[in-house]
Amino acid sequence: DSGVTQTPKHLITATGQRVTLRCSPRSGDLSVYWYQQSLDQGLQFLIQYYNGEERAKGNILERFSAQQFPDLHSELNLSSLELGDSALYFCASSVATGGGRYNEQFFGPGTRLTVL
């Protein structure tokens, strides 16, 4: 158990809908990262927050957004869902931001999103 929690574990929805994925980082971790894992694209970085502020954006679609709250939990919002958004979405957390050993990232169990 990494200490990172994600809910829900599974989510099945229809095209055009909006969903919210939730992540609670390990105790003491200030950074939260979101990654998408699909069969054809592998693990792709989406977005990072550090202590409530956005720090980096990857290949995140405009239909997707995220935020980190004062209690440090984070939510990833996916809207106008398309079939191609079906994937595993992982949250990871680390103590700090920046590279190197302070960036040891610990992953949650993921949310499997299925768009029908």
Interface with another protein (CB under 8 A): 2, 4, 31, 33, 35, 42-45, 48, 55-56, 58, 90, 92, 94, 96-110
Residue 41 to residue 86: CA distance in whole angstroms: 12
Return d(Cα 62, Cα 48) in angstroms, integer: 15
Cβ pair 12, 116 in contact under 8 A = yes
Shortest separation between residue 116's beta carbon and another protein, angstroms: 21
Q: Are the C-beta atoms of 90 and 6 separated by less than 8 Å?
A: yes
Shortest distance in whole angstroms from residue 92 CB to another protein: 8
- Kindly tell me which of 31 and 68 has the beta carbon lying closer to another protein: 31
Q: Which two tokens stand for residue 5?
A: 């929690």
CB of 15 to another protein, least distance (A): 25
Closest CB to another protein among 13 and 106?
Answer: 106
Toward another protein, which CB reaches closer, 15 or 27? 27
> Least Å distance between CB 106 and another protein?
7
| CA-wise closest residue to 6 among 30, 28, 34 | 34
